[in-house]
Structure 1
Amino acid sequence: MADEEFVTYVTARTAWLQRVAYLLCQDWHRADDLVQTAITRLYLNWRRASGSGNLDGYARTVLVRVYLAEQRAGWWRRVRPVRDVPDAPSRPDDRDAALDVREALKTLPARQRAVVVLRFYCDLSVEQTAEVLGCTSGTVKSHSARGLAALRRSLEETRR
């Protein structure tokens, strides 16, 4: 019964987890690896996760922590992935702006990028973001301010 619940949840939320992972790491192949690792950890802790009351929040926290742990380990520095055009479908809205934002996100340090994605893509509060990242609200606020300032600078340079 628990395995069926897990499979149902993962089937329904994999695309969302992949989008969050892509925004964090800016590479679809690496995002798939992050999601796979996060799903494995989620399965190992499924009893606790399913009883948490906020399964999406639990899964998102696992994913962000997998991403940050990988950043600390330096795996992405040792392996040079090939830069491919994202192969996921995009919305018919302003594609150029979306690509500009993604390019600007790439320039942010890992923790700032995580804060910006959690706060403004996942729509988490400062306190929820701090809980996911295991830091203080003040740290989230400073990373948000610095990250948004860097994004603005990068987007202004793109427009010139």
Structure 2
Amino acid sequence: MTDEYVAQRYAHLRRAAFLMCGDWARAGESARLTLARALTDPGVGADAGDLDLWAYADLMAAFKPGHSRREHVFVAPAAAGYDDAQAALRDTYTVLVLDALRRLPPKCRAVLVLHHFCHLAVAETADVLGLDGNKVTEYEAEGLQAFQELLRAGQPVAGR
């Protein structure tokens, strides 16, 4: 693994970790630890495709139930700093999406993050999480339904 790979993947791994935990400091540390293990573990493959899957699997292992986890509550920025209502509404929706994602069961959240944000195929998501493809599809359906309900329940009213 090269320094170039680390530079290219750190930001993406950090964002994926943030979607799992909601804490930028913890996400950064998780991404750094994953990349450090990739650099020092002689068993990690040199193929970039395999290395990406290995990195996602290592990263997701930090967020399995039972690991110490801090819950982060997303807070919308103060509206006074906005020049227009559209920016305030966009940031409010971002907070709602992140909060809804945080409320999903961990397996559903992991499947949605890996499949939809990281763009892994169902089979790759299954490999990363140690599941079979049918289970990934079930978690995805359950997660999307719950996610939609959570968003609907917390949807802001424009113009308020």
Query: TM-score band (shorter)?
Result: 0.7 to 0.9
Which protein is bigger by CA-based radius of gyration? 2
Alignment-derived partner of residue 143 in structure 1: 139
Matching residue's letter, 2:13: L
Query: Distance in 1 between the 2:29 and 2:35 partners?
Result: 10
Out of 23, 46, 49, the position equivalent to 2:45 is 49
Alignment-derived partner of residue 72 in structure 1: 66
Compute the TM-score of the two structures, normalised by the length of structure 2: 0.78
1:38 and 2:46 matched: no
Alignment-derived partner of residue 93 in structure 2: 97
Unaligned 5+ residue runs, structure 1?
A: none
Alignment-derived partner of residue 121 in structure 2: 125
Q: Point out the structure with the larger helix share.
A: 1
Alignment-derived partner of residue 84 in structure 2: none
Out of 146, 153, 157, the position equivalent to 2:149 is 153
2:17/2:27 contact within 8 Å kept:
yes
Alignment-derived partner of residue 61 in structure 1: 57
Q: Are residues 81 and 100 of structure 1, via their aligned partners in 2, closer, same or farther at CA, if it must alter by over 3 Å?
A: closer
Matching residue's letter, 1:115: V
Deviation at 1:110, TM superposition (A): 1.2
Unaligned 5+ residue runs, structure 2?
A: 78-86
1:38/1:59 contact within 8 Å kept:
yes
Matching residue's letter, 1:35: A
Identical-pair percentage: 31
Deviation at 1:8, TM superposition (A): 2.3
Alignment-derived partner of residue 12 in structure 1: 8
1:28/1:86 contact within 8 Å kept:
no
Query: Distance in 2 between the 1:135 and 1:81 partners?
Result: 25
Query: Distance in 2 between the 1:126 and 1:132 partners?
Result: 10
Query: Distance in 1 between the 2:50 and 2:76 partners?
Result: 30
Compute the TM-score of the two structures, normalised by the length of structure 1: 0.78
Alignment-derived partner of residue 23 in structure 2: 27
Deviation per CA, 1:102-155: give whole Å up to 9, x if none: 110010111111001011111112111101101111111111111111101101
